[in-house]
C-alpha cells in the first residue's frame, strides 16, 4: 500500500483486546484513520512493511518482546517510523527510555480523544509529542540521582521492564507469566540487574526506583 493515498493508516499495538477497542473508538472519533490492530510487538514487526502505517501506537508493557524492544526493532527496520508509546507511567524516566529506543511521542493511557488525535497528527507531521500528564523529576545538583540515572540507562529494554516489575514487588513467577519468559530467564535478568545497579537486594532496587520517580512511594 502507498502511504500517500487514502486515509492515514494507524498500526495499534496492545495485548489487551478491550484496550485496543477503546483506543480504536477514540481514534475513529472525528478522524479518517484506517486502523490495523495487532496484539504484540512481534506481530507489529511482521506486518509493518506490508501495512506501511503513517503512525504506530505501541503499548509499553506487553508479553514477549515488549513495547520498548518493539520500538527499537521498528526503528531499526525504518528509521523514519513514527511511533507513539502508550503507558500508565507519568514520569520522564520512561519517556527517556522510549525516546532512546526510537519513539517519536509518549502518551499516558488516561488521555482523551482530543489529545490522542493531537499526538498522532504531531508525530505524522514530523514533530515529537509528550503527554500533558508527564511530570519531570528534578535531579539537578543531586549526584546520587545522577549516578542512579546513569546506571538505570545502562539496562537493556528487557532489563528495564523486569527492573520496574521487581521494584513493584512482583515475583519472578509473576513476571515470567506476564512477559511470557521462563522463570530461569527472569532470574538471570534479576541477577544482571542487581549487578548493573550495584544492588544487593530487591529492597535496594525498590528504593532506587522510588528515588528516580519510577515507582510511587
217 residues of the chain, pLDDT tens digit each: 445 557 899 999 999 999 999 999 888 877 789 999 999 999 999 999 999 999 999 998 888 888 988 999 999 999 999 999 998 887 777 888 899 889 999 998 888 888 999 999 999 999 999 987 776 544 444 545 667 878 888 898 889 989 988 998 999 999 998 888 899 999 999 999 999 999 999 999 998 888 877 776 5
User: What fold, for 143-211?
Assistant: Arc Repressor Mutant, subunit A (1.10.10)
90 vs 214: CA distance, rounded Å: 9
Q: What is the pLDDT of residue 135?
A: 61
- The pTM of this model reads 0.74
Q: What is the pLDDT of residue 2?
A: 47
124 vs 128: CA distance, rounded Å: 9
Burial class, 145, CB count within 10 angstroms (exposed 0-12 / middle 13-18 / buried 19+): middle
Q: What is the pLDDT of residue 62?
A: 85
Return the domain boundaries, the chain. 8-130, 143-211
Q: Which cell numbers hold the place of 54?
A: 503513517
User: What fold, for 8-130?
Assistant: Rossmann fold (3.40.50)
Amino acid at each position: 500500500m502507498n502511504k500517500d493515498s487514502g486515509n492515514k493508516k494507524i498500526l495499534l499495538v496492545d495485548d489487551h483486546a478491550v484496550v485496543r477497542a477503546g483506543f480504536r473508538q477514540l481514534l475513529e472519533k472525528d478522524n479518517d484513520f484506517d486502523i490495523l490492530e495487532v496484539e504484540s510487538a512481534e506481530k507489529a514487526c511482521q506486518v509493518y512493511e506490508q501495512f506501511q502505517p503513517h503512525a504506530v501506537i505501541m503499548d509499553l508493557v506487553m508479553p514477549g518482546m515488549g513495547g520498548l524492544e518493539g520500538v527499537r526493532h521498528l526503528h531499526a527496520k525504518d528509521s523514519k517510523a513514527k511511533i507513539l508509546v502508550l503507558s500508565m507511567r507519568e514520569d520522564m524516566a520512561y519517556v527517556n527510555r522510549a525516546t532512546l529506543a526510537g519513539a517519536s511521542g509518549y502518551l499516558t493511557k488516561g488521555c482523551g480523544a482530543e489529545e490522542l488525535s493531537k499526538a498522532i497528527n504531531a508525530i505524522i507531521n514530523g514533530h515529537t509529542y509528550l503527554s500533558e500528564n508527564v511530570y519531570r523529576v528534578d535531579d539537578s545538583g543531586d549526584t546520587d540521582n545522577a549516578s542512579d540515572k546513569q546506571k538505570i540507562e545502562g539496562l537493556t529494554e528487557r532489563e528495564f521492564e523486569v527492573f520496574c516489575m521487581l521494584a513493584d514487588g512482583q515475583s519472578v513467577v509473576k513476571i515470567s507469566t506476564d512477559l511470557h519468559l521462563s522463570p530461569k530467564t527472569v532470574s538471570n535478568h534479576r541477577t544482571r540487574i542487581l549487578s548493573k545497579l550495584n544492588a544487593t537486594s530487591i529492597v535496594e532496587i525498590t528504593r532506587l526506583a522510588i528515588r528516580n520517580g519510577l515507582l510511587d512511594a
